Structure 1
Amino acid sequence: MAEVATLRNFIGEYAHNIDKKGRIIIPARFREELDEKIIVAKGLDGCLTVYTMDQWAKLSEQLALLPNTNRQARLYRRNLMAKASECEIDSQGRILIPSVLIKEASLIKECCVIGTGNTIEIWSKEKWDGYNDEHSDDFEEVAESLTEFLL
């Protein structure tokens, strides 16, 4: 019997600053569905992606099935796994993001922590605003192209 994935309800957009030590608050609403430890990894489109430990274990299993002989599989697996980091949520709801990931996502001060349903993304405010500006007009067209998957 196939295992059913646990669906999360990470929704919303929250503005938080990353401090000089590399710590950022994970919104309380998101923390309700997280354990003390999470994985933060390089995401797509210039952000970081936050995974639960269960999600990360499943993703790792899927990545292990990719053929080592496929160049794109090696590239994706290396970039994702090498820069991923296990982070603990402290008593104030913050995580410490490693400097390599801060650099990857160009996190300086102002950040946006967004829910994408099953995962959380951390963006620099500048990149998030640019992404929204560039793609906001595409929303209806994209929705229409995904109709067969959503219904």
Structure 2
Amino acid sequence: MTNVLAQANFIGEYAHNIDKKGRIIIPARFRDELSGKIVVAKGLDGCLNIYTQQQWAVLMEQLASLPNTKREARVYRRNILAKASECEIDSQGRILIPSVLVAEAKIEKECVIAGVGNLIEIWSKERWDAFMDEHSDDFEEVAEGLTEFLQ
């Protein structure tokens, strides 16, 4: 199975606001690779993830291969799938994020849309700033711990 998740190349950090209806503008730089419907789902560390249909299909295959007898697999699968939502980018470059996902990510108004290679993440600005403040000092230490994977 090819890992399609690793083939996208999303980079950059963009500040946007969510409107009262739950719509967020997707940066133009990302929209080129997000043709058609996309899926928004719970991510790790308090953010939301955006997947292309192709990426979502690969993730679904990976999730289906997890054993139902393992509690961790059931918890992980439920957390991603139960609140996931198919979205379409409208003519103004926005997606409508269901309120359950907005609440999950604690997005109130300001948000950050971050390209992190194979994924696009949506964060509340407060969570993003806190995460970056907490982890920017240990960036080099984290990099050292990953050297075997980064060569």
Same fold (TM over 0.5): yes
Which residues in structure 2 correspond to 1:1-151 (within 5 Å)?
A: 2-3=1-2, 5=4, 7-151=7-151
Counterpart residue identity of residue 74, structure 2? R
Runs of 4 or more, structure 1, over 4 Å off, are: none
Using the aligned pairs only, state the percent identity: 74
Shift of 1:20: 0.1
Question: Is contact 2:3-2:58 (8 Å) kept?
Answer: no
1:12 aligns to what SS in structure 2? strand
What is the RMSD computed on CA atoms of the aligned residues? 1.0
TM-score w.r.t. structure 2 length?
A: 0.97
CA distance in structure 1 between the partners assigned to 2:81 and 2:138 by the alignment:
31
Unpaired runs of 5+ in structure 2? Answer: none
TM-score w.r.t. structure 1 length?
A: 0.97
Shift of 1:36: 2.2
CA distance in structure 2 between the partners assigned to 1:45 and 1:3 by the alignment:
26
Residues 92-132 of structure 1 show CA distances to partners (whole Å, capped at 9, x for unaligned) of 00000000000000011000000000110000000000001
Residues 1-34 of structure 1 show CA distances to partners (whole Å, capped at 9, x for unaligned) of x536361110000000000000000000000111
